[in-house]
Chain A
Amino acid sequence: MTVSGVSRDFPKPHPSIRGGAFYLWFRRRSTIAVMMCFPLLALITCLVAYPFAYSIYLSMLNKAETAFVGFGNFLFLFKRETFWLVVQQSILFALVAVIFKALIGFIAAHAVNTIPSKGQRKWRGMMLVPWVIPPALSTLGWWWLFEPTYSAFNWLLEEFAVPAVPWLSDVFWARFSVILVNVWVGAPFFLIMYLAALKSIPEELYEAASIDGASAWQKLVHVTLPMMRNIIAITILFSIIVTFANFDIVRVLTQGGPRNSTHLFSTYAFRVGIESGDIPLGAAVSLFMFPALAILAFVILRNVRQRTVSI
């Protein structure tokens, strides 16, 4: 019996084939699976693993990149007040911005969901606009509104005889403005995710709840929120990561000022690494985000998985 090289069936062990061992190994499902993943693995290696490893390496060099200093850069950062300021600001910025984005997205999703489906597309489209404009551009527009010489906001305030607000030069207002713009850009993402989640909750559950005697508020608490818990957890996790690592808004609006009071990890890393020319120290700053976000991701995703199993 001759055996052709191409078999229609999944290969079965057949000791009589010459060179069969390699051929069989090659045709095994698991081998094929790994090989089909190869392009993706290569991509991840080039775009994620290599830069990551390289930045770890960089963070352990001295400023001139001539000598290995171990954790020297990190120890140096720990002693810098500005660094701890940046840590606090990043956390404050991420938490406040994400809470408001999620809240506004949630409320807007409910509002859009009550619009009859015919008119809904239009509103959905309009509300997505802040999210689809490149943030660097839209932030420039916001800067125009805040900027002291031409500030449209201040002009409006003065019309109502309210004193002008130093939007970008006062510590509180600068932080406020940065968060405001971030919320404006990011809320539509929550809107879309929550709208999709809302639409996927069967109408019958609300009808059953009506008959069971639930008020609108009780339906929200006992039906909507539990049904959306996973999507809420995942969007918040995702958004915290993205917000934590935000760069363009702060960069365009305040460059981290006044007096470093709006710096985030990435803008501070840019300031230290690129503008001040200490690339290893900049790498050390940016690496600081990693463990915090990794732990956060781990906790939330584990929570989601447990709930998915139980529901």
Chain B
Amino acid sequence: MADVSLTKLHKSFDRTEAVCGIDLEIADNEFVVLVGPSGCGKSTTLRMIAGLEEITKGDIRIGGELVNDVPPKDRDIAMVFQNYALYPHMTVFQNMSFGLRLRKYPKKEIQRRVEDAAEVLGISELLQRRPKQLSGGQRQRVAMGRAIVRNPRVFLFDEPLSNLDAKLRQQMRIEIKRVHQHLNTTTVYVTHDQVEAMTLADRVVVMNNGLIEQVGTPGELYHQPRTHFVAGFIGSPAMNFLDCKLERNSGNLEVKLGDMLTLQVPADRGSRYEPYVGRGLVFGIRPEHVHEKRAGEDAFAEVMVNFIEPLGMETMVYFTINGVELCGRVSPEADPRPGQTISLTIDIGKMHLIESETNLVL
């Protein structure tokens, strides 16, 4: 068990800079997920922690010890790869025990550890099979088993579930969480899937263009995104954005969306937004905070429905305002139809304002 600390971490390949200076403290036993769009440098960061990629600049410490120049085998870490990376010529048992055999553990100990891990993962019956005779989910379990038997200080996962179908992915997600609760090993997990990130993580690290955008618990990222990028990346369907202007009208602040729509800023945000009056801003609201007008509520807008996505317990409606397609969530009882005009309301307390220049959420 150990904490992991990254200090001013840089990585450049020939021309491209993949990681441009990352600072991150991962506590002992913590489950941290690096999430971000493809190509943002997540894997590169993880591989530097593993020692598979040389560090261009900066420091990595595991358990307080500087490991910049320590080869992977001496870092006491285990990694699960996206394509499993099982040795095709070895049985499941041999795959899982390979690291222990190389480290010359006694036979009995190897046997015990492999069987224990197989038990935890429910693959005891598969120990004599070869990877080719396993399904994707089973291979994934074996890859996890290979990591678990070593009882390393840190687990590293690089998009371990992205080759599985949706149902299996959800199962394995629960499995991974269970294993972490059981073993409590410090874990760094890379994914591009924000749902995976939110469900698994103690803390989520949102990355973009080789930089960390925000670090926080899933709740913090959802409710208090710090940047335009995080606001748009976290949450599905994504947050709606509209260009807007902030104006003062007889003491109250108003958000003007185009010429037609005006929204009253809640009183408690007044002082926060005051300095930005008259500036170009972006108004953000999540689809789940846009819904059909109920009795006693003020309509935010009358819109024509472009199309709908019925999901059973809710229905997503898509509509256009000021030439921008937006999304809202209505109850199935409202029964919206494409082409129909409906009245929508906004939970104005859940709005965000983003400064266009700095992309920071105000």
Contact assessment for B89 and A212 in the assembled complex, using a CB-CB cutoff below 8 Å: no
Which residue of the partner chain, among B78, B85, B87, B99, contacts A207 with CB atoms under 8 Å? B85
Give the segment of A52-60, A139-147, A157-165, A219-227 that binds chain B.
A219-227
Report the tally of A-B residue pairs with Cβ distances under 8 A: 63
B103 contacts across to A, CB distance below 8 A: 213
Cα distance, A53 to B88, chains bound together (Å): 44
Q: Is B50 an interface residue (CB 8 A)?
A: yes
Q: Does A311 contact B (CB under 8 A)?
A: yes
> Are A204 and B71 in contact, with the CB atoms below 8 A?
no
> Does A125 belong to the interface (CB within 8 Å)?
no
> In the complex, which of the residues A212, A215, A229, A311 contacts B98, with contact meaning CB atoms closer than 8 Å?
A212
Known contacts being A204-B83, A222-B87, is A211 close to B98, with CB within 8 Å?
Answer: no
A212 touches B73 (CB 8 A): yes
User: What residue of chain A has the Cβ atom nearest to residue B50's Cβ?
Assistant: A211
- Contact bitstring B278-322, A, C-beta under 8 A = 1, else 0: 000000000000000000000000000000000000000000000
**Is the Cβ of B130 less than 8 Å from the Cβ of A208?**
no
> Considering only CB atoms, which chain A residue lies closest to B78 in the complex?
A211
* Interface residue? B277 (CB, 8 A): no
User: How far, in angstroms, from A227 to B131 measured CA to CA in the complex?
Assistant: 14
A208 touches B73 (CB 8 A): no
Q: Is the CB of A202 within 8 A of B85?
A: yes
CA distance A254 to B50 in the complex (A): 59
The yes or no answer to B166 lying at the interface (CB within 8 A) is: no
B87 touches A211 (CB 8 A): no
B4 at the interface (CB under 8 A from A): no
Q: Is the CB of B77 within 8 A of A211?
A: yes
A205, A211, A212: residue with the most chain B Cβ atoms closer than 10 Å: A211
Scan residues 91-109 of chain B and give those whose CB is less than 8 A from a CB of chain A: 98-99, 102-103
Given known A211-B73, A214-B73, contact A202–B52 (CB-CB < 8 A): no
A310 proximal to B (CB < 8 A): yes
Residues of A within 8 A of B81 (CB): 204, 207-208
The 8 Å CB contact of B85, one of A208, A215, A227, A310, is: A208
Binary flags per residue of B193-221, CB closer than 8 Å to A gives 1, else 0: 00000000000000000000000000000
Q: Decide if B337 is an interface residue (CB 8 Å cutoff).
A: no
Main secondary structure on chain A at its contact with chain B?
helix
B102 touches A218 (CB 8 A): yes
A6 to chain B minimum Cβ distance, whole angstroms, is 44
Q: How far is the CB of A239 from chain B (nearest CB, A)?
A: 23
Residues of A within 8 A of B121 (CB): none
19 A-B contacts (beta carbon < 8 Å): A202-B83, A207-B79, A208-B81, A208-B86, A209-B98, A210-B52, A210-B71, A211-B52, A211-B73, A211-B79, A212-B146, A214-B98, A214-B102, A222-B98, A223-B87, A226-B87, A226-B89, A227-B88, A311-B89
- Given contacts A202-B85, A211-B78, list 8 more A-B pairs with CB under 8 A: A202-B83, A204-B81, A204-B83, A205-B87, A208-B81, A209-B87, A213-B73, A229-B89
